[in-house]
Every structure is written in structure tokens, then in C-alpha cells.
Structure 1
Amino acid sequence: MRLKDIYIKPKIPKKLEKLFELSYNVWTTWDKDAVNLFLRIDPNLFRKLNFNPVEFLHKIEYEKLQKLAEDKGFLYELKNVWDKFSQYKKYRGYYMDKNDNKIYFDKGDLIAYFSMEYGLHESLPLYSGGLGVLAGDFIKSASDMGMPIVGFGLLYKYGYLNQYINEEGYQEEEYVENRWYLKPIKEVRDKENKPITFEMKIKNYKVNVKLWKIEVGKIPLYFLDTDIATNSEYVKSITDYLYVADRDKRIEQEILLGQGAIQAIKILNIEPKIYHLNEGHSAFLIIERLKKMMMEDKLSYEATKQIIRESTVFTTHTPVIEGNEHFDKDKITTYIKDDIEKLEIKIDTFLVNGLIENSTKFWLPALALKFSKYSNAVSKLHQEVSKKMWKEIYGELDYSEIPIDYITNGVHIQSWLSNEMARIFDRYIGPDYLHMADKSLWEQIEDIPDDEIWAVHKTRKEHLISFIRNRIVDKLEARGAPSTKISELSNILNPEYLTIAFARRFATYKRANLILHDKERLKKILTNGKKPVQLIFAGKAHSADKMGKELIKEIIDFAKEYDLEDKVVFLENYDINVARHLVQGVDVWLNTPLKHMEASGTSGMKAGINGVLNLSVLDGWWPEGYNGENGWAITAGERYQNIDMKNETEANQIYSLLEEEITEIYYDKTGAYYPKNWVKKMKKSIYSICKDFNMHRMLDEYFYKSYYPAMSQIDLLEESNHKEIDEYVKQKDIIKEKWSKLYIKFIDSEFEKKDVSTGENAKIDAYVYLDNIDPSLISVEIFYKYDENGYKVIDMEFLEKYEDSILKFTADVEVKGYGLEQYNVRIRPSHDMLFESNPEFVKWYFE
């Protein structure tokens, strides 16, 4: 016998129906007035329920709602929030075209965004960490800016792990089932009010998929769910856990996200122009797009591949090759072979798109890169790492030409700025920062009085410490700890002390324990009678990461063994709520990854906009953010390859900075009741990070670097009925047939004959065999590299053809710079689309 689930809507007074409607839009979780509206009803219950407006209205006493329905003050406040929300939804986003005309977005400009996780709010645990929180901020800012985006993800029954620390100091995990009817998410229903489901095939079994939707301001986010009655128990479990360890189930999740989302797009009658893959997890959507265009639109494989490429954006977030999603080639084959062979494509022909030379692994990011014209890393430094990591994909291209751009991450300011700081922003900057990324807005931060900044910071720090004390007391009481222990720890941390936070995933490369390198020296710093310091740690280790769990235990043991439990705190179950309190309340944000191992990182940005000063290795975003006045850089270990030496020198630098500079500035209140020089650095932090690392700036870059050129190209292709694609396929066939026979016979270069100085020209002649191909199909070029990243490509002019089918080309190189430089001559297809899509069609003279 099985009882059927039914949903009963809570009873809401008619005058408060708009409050109920507001609760189902995630906008209410980041708009300060909306949050305060719910807090006014019952602040204790709202906090207890993790600021979840839907669950709150399901559990609040009806009598209390009845009283509010007759409270003129509350109704006035509700009307103001509703009017604000209505105006927000009416805002139309726009862009400036190539002629500097303002063009408003319309439904034909739709961008589909795909992500394995979304960190929208703590009440929606569909995220594990930075990737998901970034995706959540991305969607929120798109809504603020009126950018037409629709998102797709998976609905996880249990989400990611909940963390608790046992008596021995080790992390343990528990998974709590999400009760979706108590969260700001709804089933997608058809005109007859029935839940929309569809059927797809994964491997050899049938999968029924149900669709859900979260409203994020103006943006719809759709989620695919297999936990429905019509599925087998195994299929139901596909969407149980985020980042499941089982490799088959991981593939199945990613096929569901990629191919399933494309099927959902068709069912929902959505017509995206651009497809944006946030990491490689969703790369299987390429297969579904191939199926649609080849089977329904009757296009060839080469034409379809090129259309997909022109309309796809890919963002890579992973700086370590093994951290990128990959599977055994044979395992992947069992999942995709049927789909690929239905398209009359040999499976090996398709698998090449995901292989790296001499590897039997199929890499989803490689597949995404080969089918994406617009690819980007997430910081300038990460661009360098990514180019080196994926260089084999790009054949004979020089490193400088590898088409992986960078768009440095940003943060959604309204989600992470404290209420108190937001009020200051509203007063001194005005509300324009909600919709615009105009850098000149932020200059007004200098006008904010120092004492107001400090007063806000003190308030937030007190809130943070109160929050931590309450969490620790609740934990101890729940575990039946002795009253003496509860009393002892109920007053941990001091709001007057310099407070440093380290909060992030506990992976070994992030080196959470670097500051513990010399425990005796650290203890002296923490217990300095005149300049005391306290440390707050938070973060989860992956459930299978034993070394990450040992890092957590080391911190907890250090606090106990050195009698520092009042000054060194590990905060359990790091989530968006904990993160928000930390970034708004600590003094210093510590970040100590091994350099080149952090793609970007955004927690330091969130701290920085609240006036928290970063103390960080120059990795990820910090090399672009650090200016010498807005925090500190950890650089001492950069010259060492040996990890032990690197750890020792960087730990010592941290200690020296704390002893000689950071605590000196923080505790120096000469001539004022607050540390003037510290506040000066706080304002530099707020200004520089708000200006350059807000999510609106990031979305602007995505639009003008990727979305806009992709949209323009797709429009041109559609207007011409894909004539350029037809020409591309025709020329590719010609060049593919002849390519092996083409070569550069020799070159005659003035670089080899005389000394050339800056500003002078050097003539180069090239003699090329083209096997009677029309010379207009081939470009002969000089590639001149005058520094590590600076280069010029000079087209060579055809002069004459000789009897042996050798063609002569010539060009002059204007010399730049001085010292050791480089050049080479190459041939490649003259059709730019053909060259960009097929880097294997490049031959150099100097090999």
C-alpha cells in the first residue's frame, strides 16, 4: 500500500496574496526591502527557517497573518515592495550596437545557460561551492540587467553534503532530502494544469523527466528531475546527489543535463540563439543539437558542426587537467554510440572531438572547446593556465593564438553587500548600481565619511560573532554537551580583536593549514596582549577526500591543544548563509592556494565589497585586483618549486605581515576613535573591487566578447540561408583532399642576411607548392612575435607562379621592439571560419 502525495496550499489572507506570490521569486532573497518585509513578520522564525520565504509562509501561524492583513503599516510596506518588484520586472535591458545605438533586447536574443549547479540562496541547496554560486550570481545579474537568459540544471533530491564535526574532530556527512513544496520552486505545468514530463533514453533504458522552474527576478531557471513514480528505482536515483562519485551515474547526470535540456527546450517551445556551457558537464547537449539539425533540418555533419560552433559559448573553470570531467573512451562509447551512428557518423570520428593526443580518455571540456567558437577562462592568469592545458587541441597554432579568452569573474553585489553597507551605497551612490556597470559610479565611495564605514563594519562584526556563538551553543546543546562547556564557549571571539577568516572548500591545494605551519609563532600572534588576533575557519571537504578531512582535524586539534578555542573557531556546514555573515563581518580574508591552482575565486571579492581586506597569494583574480592599497599579497614562495620551501617562506611572510604591518595598522587609533589608515584601505578595497569585479561588468564582457558577435553571425547565416556554411563545407572538402601535398619549399628572408633595427622593414619571400589549388583558397602569412604575448600576422602577396607549380609570395615585416624575437612563415586556409574551426590545417616552414 502506498499513500499518494498531495499538496495543500497554506491559507493566506486575501490582502496578503501578493506576499505569497513574492515568496516564490528568488528576487525576495536579495532585495533588502523584501528581506526586511519578511523579517518584520517574525524575525526569529524567518532566521530559523534559513530565510526561506516559502517555508516561512507555510509555517507561520494564520492568526499572525490575519493581524498583519489589518496592519496598515505592514500593508503599506508590502505595497512598496510589490511596486518595487513590479517596476523591476518592467525594466528593459539594452546594449549598444556597433554604431553606438541603444538597442533593447527582445525575445529573439535569447541565451540558454547550462550549469551542473546553481547557488541562488541557502534555502535552495542545489550547489556545492564556487561554480554554483557564480552561476547563481550570473543569473541574478542577468535579471538585473534585463538580459534575455534562460537557465537549465538538475534537481537534486539530496543535493550536496551537510557537514558536522564529530568528537574526534573529523568531518562526517549527512544528506537531507529536499522538500520542494516548501521551497521557492514549482512544477512546470501544461494548459490542463498537469505536470510537464517527457521521455528520453539513456543507454538502454527509458528515463521519464519532470520539469521544475525557479523564478529568479525576470529569469526562468528550469530543472530536470528523474525522481518520479513512473521511473525504476535506479533511474529515480540519477538526480539524487550532486557530484555523485559513481562514474556511470555521473555520465547519466551529464547526459540528462545536456541532451535532456535540449529536449526540454523543444517541449517548452523555447528558441535560444546562443548556448552557453558553464563548464564541461553539459557538453552532451552538442550531441542533441547535432541530432536535431541533421535529422530534422537535414543538414550535413560538417555544416551542423559549424553552426553549433558559431552559436556556442564555453566557460572553463578548472585549472588542473585531472579536475576536468573525463571518462574512459570505451565507457563513453556505450552511452553515445547509438545516437552517433543514427546520424551516419562513425563513432571514432565523433570521439576524436573529446580526445587529447595519445589518451584513451574522453574529455568533456575538449568536446566543448572544439564545438565552441567563444571560449573563456575566468581570470587573466587562468587564461594562461588554460591555454597550456588545452594546447594539443589547437594543432599547430602558436600559444599566443590559442582562442581561449578570459573574462574574470565577478559577484552580484546586492546578494553579498550587507544591509548596512547597502544603505550607505543608496545614500552616497544612488540606486543606479543595481542595473549599470558604469565604473564612474564607484568614484563616489571616496565621499563616504570614514566614521560611517567603520560604524557599519563594527555592527557587522558584532552580528557575525553573535551568529557564530549562537550556532556553537545550538550545536553543543543538541549534542548534550555539559553546561560548563556550553558556558565556556558561549562567549568565544571578541568583536574588538582583529579577525581573520579562511572559508572555502577544504582541498589540499588550498592549504587551509598554511597559517598553522609554525604553531608556536602563530600562538604568540593570537595571544598578543596589545594586538590580539582571532581566526575563523569554514569549509567542507569532499566526502571522499581523506586529506581534506585531515586538514579540518588539524585546525580543531590546534585550537584544543594550544588552549585557543576562544580564538580559533571552525564553523560547521559552510553554506551561502555562513559565507554571507563571514564576508560582511571579518577584518581580513585569507586565501593561500598554491599558485596557478585557483582559477578565479570570488569569496575575496564578496569580502572586498564589504570593506574586508584580502591577504592572498597572487592567484586567480587577485593579481588583477591587488593594487598595493586594498590588501596584501603573499609572494615570498613564488620563486620556489619545492613545496616545503614554498610553504615555509609563505607562512613566514604571513606571520611577518601580521606582526609588523596588519596588526599595527588595525590597532593604531592615533588621533581618532577608529583606525584611520585601516579605514582608508577599506575604502580602497570597496572602490576597486566594486568597480572592477561586479557581476554586471562580467556580463557586459560576456555580451560584447561572445554573445553579441555570435548573435550577429547567426543572424547573417540565417539571412543568407547558410550560404557561408555551404561555402565553408565546399572549401573544406577541397583543402582536406589536397592538404597532405601542400608545403613551403623555402623562404628568402632579410632577417637571415643582415642586422635589422627597430622601425626598419625586413623583406621575406616564400616559395610555396599548392598542387594547383586556387591560390585564393590559401593564405600565406608571416607570423612575427615580438614579445611573449605580442605578435603580428602579415599577409603575404602572391607575385608569380613557376613552371613546377611553385608560387612566390612576398611581404615586409616592420620590426618592433628589440632583443630576441621570433618569426615563421605558414600556410593556412584563407576562409577564416575554416581556419578557426580546423587548426590542423596549418603548416609552418620552421617546424
Structure 2
Amino acid sequence: MLSKKDIFGFEPNAQYSTAAAYFSMEFAVDQALKIYSGGLGFLAGSHLRSAYQLKQNLLGIGILWKYGYYDQTRDKDQLMKPAYTEKQYAYLQDTGIIFTVPVHDSPVHVRAYLLKPETFGTAPLFLLSTDVPENDYLSRTITHRLYDPHETTRIAQSIILGIGGAMLLDILNITPDVYHMNEGHSVSLNFYLYAKYKSLDEVKKRVVFTTHTPEMAGNEEHRYSLLKEMSFFYHLQEHEVKYLLGMDGDQFSYTLAALKFARKANGVSELHGKVARDMWGHNPGICEITSITNAQNLTYWQDPLMGKSIAGNDDHGIVQRKKELKADLFKVVADQCGKLFDPEVITIVWARRFAGYKRADLVMQDWNRFLTLLSNGAFPVQLIWAGKPYPEDFGAIGLFNQIISRALPLKNCAVLTGYELELSALLKKGSDVWLNNPRMYREASGTSGMTAAMNGSINLSLPDGWVPEFARDRENCFLIQPAPDHSPEQDQDRLENISLMDTLEQVVLPTYYNDHNKWLGMVKKAAADVVPAFESGRMAAEYYTKMYKA
């Protein structure tokens, strides 16, 4: 049996002695471990890195996805194509622990692997796999693909994460003071805890919940009857679940159930905390919803030479290092797109998880004005897009491919594929401007702009998610004026496109080309304002003070 020393390899800091188990469907801790899709994973990865640096008594529980999310490749026409390649991870420790989790009233065998802290500098992370010889083929596929498109498989994945993760902790003889659900995927763990403690109050003492989804449609729901059939409720019957949680109807909401099981919950920015309270506050029996703003790990994300130049107020060093970082990024542009970008030209990047509400094409909406922007000889620009749509979100994939097709003949526009940690870092380090233009109130946090600011890139953003807590317009960022609340989407797109283009043409480009000192001042101000307020050491510590201590 693994000892605590085997798992942690260090003695936790007394300040963080409360034992926490952090359940997440995805973790982005290193390019080499492809078990993540986007922002939720990036956030979880930074959390584990800072927990390790602070020597917190925290461990992660996740899934070992055999094929990851997917590999983003291109077809013969340069359009996006998802590919699925089996992954091998020799650096994971096979714990030798195999146990069974009931799924569909049948025992599914689960093997536990450990990512040791010293491997990538993270808190210990246990990863569960059903891809073992003891299982039939269907059971083996449960942990094949992150966010599998089939409803029953998705439910089974949640069972393995929640119930399976809680069972593993018992097998290891680890009794956390706190079970932390990072999003609602692991909500089934509460039914296991209820079977163990026989009391909703006893479960509440031990559970906290972080919600990341500020739109109702994005909060997962399934039919009670299907969940009961799948053994999601562990030993409870459907009517017992409804009575226990005071939840009626035919659909079981993961988020609402999590809010009723937890003693405390949080949104992931101050604005999102308010949105979450507005969304869920009318439901009786839910816990308090506070906010802890997401953050990212400086040690992992910041280029050391750029960080040194910013900290030393070395303007020459900042300019020189930015050109070098741009040249590194532009090698990828040349390799993928056959276009040679110029390090002297302002480079605007839109890159993040790809979804319709994030509006990757907003800058293109007035096509003639967009072409005018691209052909301005006095203020030349370069634009790069990157991001991964969900592989079955054909609307988002269509938009991604439409941007590829429209950018193809334009020598100063590029769309890159393979958006994972490594490319994300290159884009943040190699950009001058980090563009973020989601529909207002739809971005819970949006942490990519934080790591861009750590690397000498200035945010050009709508004031959504974390941005209102950071933004000082024309001091540390450039703000896009949002359309009036409750405007029709067509009007939002039109008005916010106008504001975006006005800001680019009248403020951003003239500042970059004509007011060098002002630009460098904004770069340094942004970097100073983003750390420590939006560095994940602050966040990891805040979870202990706000959420973990009873």
C-alpha cells in the first residue's frame, strides 16, 4: 500500500494541513500528458502546480484518457480534422490497485495510476483507467475519450471519476477533510459519501464545489431514470434522491445537485460569482456561492527572460526578447501555413477553447473593414487564430474551417492547429495583443489573458470574466465597449465589432507604432498588475482560507 510519503514525497506545510482531494475531469499539467481539452484543464493544472509549490496537503483525482481529447490535424484541403491516437505514459506509476465500481449494476474494473509530484512539479495526481483486460470492450471504452459524445458513456465517466475516485481514497486509507468538485462532473461522489455517512449534513461538512459554467445550457443534465439505471446514485433509488435533495422533475442537474450537497461553492471570477447567484439563488437548499477568481501559474507560463526584463524595467530587453519570442512562434506559422510573418509587425492573437459564444470571427464581421485593416501600409498587422472545438460541435468546427478558408489567401493571417499547452504558450509569448471578445456574461473567467500579460502581451478584451477585476483601460489593457445588456445578438455583434475595430484603428495601432514608451509602459503595468493577483499561488491559498477551512 502506498504511504503518504510515497504519494507526496514531502511534508505538507502546517498552514495547509487540511487534507483536500481535488476532483476534475481534466488536468493540463504538461504538454506530454494529454488529458485535457481547454480552460478547465489549464486551471486545474495551474492549481496543482501552485499547491505543490506551497506544499499544500492536496491531491488530484482525474481520469487517464487513452486517446486524450483528440489530436487536431488537417485534411487535404487544410481544414480541421480530429484524429484519435493511443497515448502511452511510461512516467506514470502503476499503483497496482485495481478495484470495481458499479456501472449499470455491473462491476467495472478500475486501475489507478499516480503522477508523482516530482515528475512535473505538481501535487500528486491519481488517474483512473477502465482500459484493463478484466473489463469487456464497452467497459474499457469508458476512459478512452475525454467528453465522449455518447450520453451513457459520459455518465459512466462521471461515475468513475466521482464514485471511483472516492472509493480509491478509501482503499488508500486517505480520509480527506474536503472533497473539492472542480465543476459538476464528479457529483456522483456525494452518493457514495451519503452511503458511507448516512446523512446529508455529514456529506455537506466535507464537500465544496467550483462552478465554471455561466449559461444554463452548459450545465449537464440527464434523466433520473437513466442515471438510476446506470448506478449513478450508488445505492439510492430515484425517489430517495429527489426527497434527499428536494429536486423534482424528470431531469437531474449536476450543478444544482452539487450546490445542494456542498457546504460552500464558488464562481471563478467576481462577475461570475454574481452570475451564478442569479442563476441558482432562487433554488431552496443550495449552499452559499462566493467567488475565487481563477489564476495561472507564473513559473510554468512566464518566459524567464521576458520576466527578468520586465522586473528589471529593461525596455531594450523587453523589446529584444519579444522579437525572439515572435520569431519562435512564426516558425510554426511558416511550417503550418507557408507564410512568413515579420517580428517588427504588431501581432494580434485570438486563441482559446473554440466555441460559438467566444466569437473567433468577430473581427471579420465587417469584411470590407477587415480587409482595409489588413492592407493598412502605415500600420501593418498580423493575425493568428488557434483553438480546439469540441469534435462533435459541427457549428464550431464549421466556423473554425470558415476562418481557415477566409484567412488562406491573406498573407498576414494564419490559423494554427494543434492547440495544446505548448502551442498556447508560444502564442502568449509571441503575441503583442491578446484578443478576447466573447458575448458578455458568457465567459466565467477566461484565464488565457493572464498568461499573455505575464509575457509582455497586452489584452484587448470585452470586460467579461476576470477582466473587470484587472482592467485599467489604456493603462494595462485596451477595452472593447460592450453593447447594451439584453440587446439582440445581431446588434451585439454589430456594435461590438464597431467598437473592436475603432479601438484597433484609433488606439491600439497608433500606440504600438507611434508611442513606443506608452506601449512599453502598458506592457510593464499589465505584468505588474497580473502578479500576484492573478497568479495561482494566490488562488490555491485562497481556496484554503475561503473554502477548505470549515
Extract unaligned runs of 5+ from structure 2.
Answer: 1-5
Residue 537 of structure 1 corresponds to which residue in structure 2?
A: 385
Number of residues of Structure 1 aligned to a counterpart in Structure 2? 540
| 1:625 paired to 2:470 | yes
Displacement after TM superposition at 1:394 (Å) = 2.7
Change (3 A) 1:568 1:218: closer
State how far apart, in whole Å, the 1-side matches of 2:485 and 2:177 are.
47
State how far apart, in whole Å, the 1-side matches of 2:108 and 2:479 are.
51
Residues 733-772 of structure 1: pairs in structure 2 closer than 5 A = none
Change (3 A) 1:707 1:639: closer
| 1:135 paired to 2:25 | no
| 1:550 paired to 2:398 | yes
Residues 52-63 of structure 1: pairs in structure 2 closer than 5 A = none
Change (3 A) 1:456 1:186: same
State how far apart, in whole Å, the 2-side matches of 1:548 and 1:703 are.
37
Displacement after TM superposition at 1:588 (Å) = 0.3
Match of 2:281 among 388, 391, 395: 391
Residue 540 of structure 2 corresponds to which residue in structure 1?
A: 699
Displacement after TM superposition at 1:584 (Å) = 0.8
Residue 252 of structure 2 corresponds to which residue in structure 1?
A: 362
| 1:596 paired to 2:445 | no
Displacement after TM superposition at 1:451 (Å) = 2.1
Residue 225 of structure 1 corresponds to which residue in structure 2?
A: 129
Residue 144 of structure 2 corresponds to which residue in structure 1?
A: 240
| 1:324 paired to 2:219 | yes
Does the 8 Å CA contact 1:502/1:537 hold for their aligned counterparts?
Answer: yes
**RMSD over aligned Cα, in angstroms?**
2.1
Change (3 A) 1:354 1:334: farther
State how far apart, in whole Å, the 1-side matches of 2:11 and 2:341 are.
45
State how far apart, in whole Å, the 2-side matches of 1:558 and 1:254 are.
39
Change (3 A) 1:356 1:547: farther
Does the 8 Å CA contact 1:539/1:574 hold for their aligned counterparts?
Answer: yes
Displacement after TM superposition at 1:286 (Å) = 0.7
| 1:451 paired to 2:316 | yes
Change (3 A) 1:143 1:210: same
Change (3 A) 1:351 1:332: farther
Match of 1:463 among 328, 349, 370: 328
Amino acid at match of 2:448: S
State how far apart, in whole Å, the 1-side matches of 2:377 and 2:125 are.
53
Amino acid at match of 1:199: T
Residue 749 of structure 1 corresponds to which residue in structure 2?
A: none
Match of 2:34 among 122, 125, 130: 125
State how far apart, in whole Å, the 1-side matches of 2:485 and 2:62 are.
42
| 1:258 paired to 2:178 | no
State how far apart, in whole Å, the 2-side matches of 1:492 and 1:449 are.
28
Match of 1:655 among 493, 496, 501: 501
Change (3 A) 1:569 1:393: same
Report % sequence identity.
33
Match of 1:614 among 446, 449, 459: 459
State how far apart, in whole Å, the 1-side matches of 2:152 and 2:88 are.
26
Displacement after TM superposition at 1:461 (Å) = 1.4
Does the 8 Å CA contact 2:116/2:124 hold for their aligned counterparts?
Answer: yes
Displacement after TM superposition at 1:355 (Å) = 6.9
Match of 2:89 among 180, 189, 195: 180
TM-score, normalised relative to structure 1: 0.62
Change (3 A) 1:128 1:353: farther
Amino acid at match of 1:466: K
Does the 8 Å CA contact 1:353/1:366 hold for their aligned counterparts?
Answer: no
Extract unaligned runs of 5+ from structure 1.
Answer: 1-24, 26-87, 96-104, 189-194, 294-300, 426-444, 473-488, 670-674, 711-847
State how far apart, in whole Å, the 2-side matches of 1:239 and 1:156 are.
5
State how far apart, in whole Å, the 2-side matches of 1:231 and 1:91 are.
37
Residues 655-674 of structure 1: pairs in structure 2 closer than 5 A = 655-668=501-514
Q: Deviations over 1:209-265 (max 9, x none)?
A: 111010233621111111111111111111111000111111111111111111111
| 1:373 paired to 2:247 | no
- Higher relative contact order, structure no. (Cα contacts within 8 Å, ≥ 6 residues apart): 2
Displacement after TM superposition at 1:351 (Å) = 2.8
State how far apart, in whole Å, the 1-side matches of 2:244 and 2:334 are.
53
Change (3 A) 1:355 1:549: farther
Q: Deviations over 1:796-841 (max 9, x none)?
A: xxxxxxxxxxxxxxxxxxxxxxxxxxxxxxxxxxxxxxxxxxxxxx
Displacement after TM superposition at 1:360 (Å) = 1.7
Residue 158 of structure 1 corresponds to which residue in structure 2?
A: 67
State how far apart, in whole Å, the 2-side matches of 1:645 and 1:323 are.
23
Displacement after TM superposition at 1:423 (Å) = 4.0
Displacement after TM superposition at 1:171 (Å) = 2.1
Displacement after TM superposition at 1:455 (Å) = 2.1
| 1:93 paired to 2:13 | yes
Residue 420 of structure 1 corresponds to which residue in structure 2?
A: 305
Amino acid at match of 2:319: W
Residue 480 of structure 2 corresponds to which residue in structure 1?
A: 634
Displacement after TM superposition at 1:165 (Å) = 2.9
Does the 8 Å CA contact 1:354/1:362 hold for their aligned counterparts?
Answer: no
Does the 8 Å CA contact 1:353/1:367 hold for their aligned counterparts?
Answer: no
More off after superposition, 448-457 vs 647-656:
448-457
| 1:336 paired to 2:245 | no
Residue 512 of structure 1 corresponds to which residue in structure 2?
A: 360
Change (3 A) 1:452 1:91: farther
Change (3 A) 1:90 1:311: closer
Match of 2:241 among 337, 342, 350: 350
Change (3 A) 1:338 1:213: closer
Does the 8 Å CA contact 1:200/1:209 hold for their aligned counterparts?
Answer: yes
Q: Matched residue of 1:201: which SS?
A: strand
State how far apart, in whole Å, the 1-side matches of 2:270 and 2:222 are.
28
Displacement after TM superposition at 1:640 (Å) = 5.7
| 1:677 paired to 2:518 | yes
Amino acid at match of 1:589: W
Which entry has the higher C-alpha Rg, 1 or 2?
1
Residues 16-95 of structure 1: pairs in structure 2 closer than 5 A = 93-95=13-15
Amino acid at match of 1:508: G
Does the 8 Å CA contact 1:355/1:362 hold for their aligned counterparts?
Answer: no
Change (3 A) 1:94 1:530: farther
Change (3 A) 1:593 1:196: same
Q: Matched residue of 1:207: which SS?
A: strand
| 1:198 paired to 2:99 | yes
Match of 1:403 among 280, 285, 288: 288
Displacement after TM superposition at 1:468 (Å) = 2.7
Amino acid at match of 2:481: T
Match of 2:372 among 524, 534, 541: 524
Displacement after TM superposition at 1:136 (Å) = 0.7
Q: Matched residue of 1:196: which SS?
A: strand
TM-score, normalised relative to structure 2: 0.94
Residue 277 of structure 1 corresponds to which residue in structure 2?
A: 181
Does the 8 Å CA contact 2:188/2:233 hold for their aligned counterparts?
Answer: no
Does the 8 Å CA contact 1:169/1:552 hold for their aligned counterparts?
Answer: no
State how far apart, in whole Å, the 2-side matches of 1:338 and 1:502 are.
41
State how far apart, in whole Å, the 1-side matches of 2:233 and 2:146 are.
27
Q: Matched residue of 1:420: which SS?
A: helix
Does the 8 Å CA contact 2:407/2:415 hold for their aligned counterparts?
Answer: no
State how far apart, in whole Å, the 2-side matches of 1:523 and 1:353 are.
59
State how far apart, in whole Å, the 1-side matches of 2:242 and 2:342 are.
59
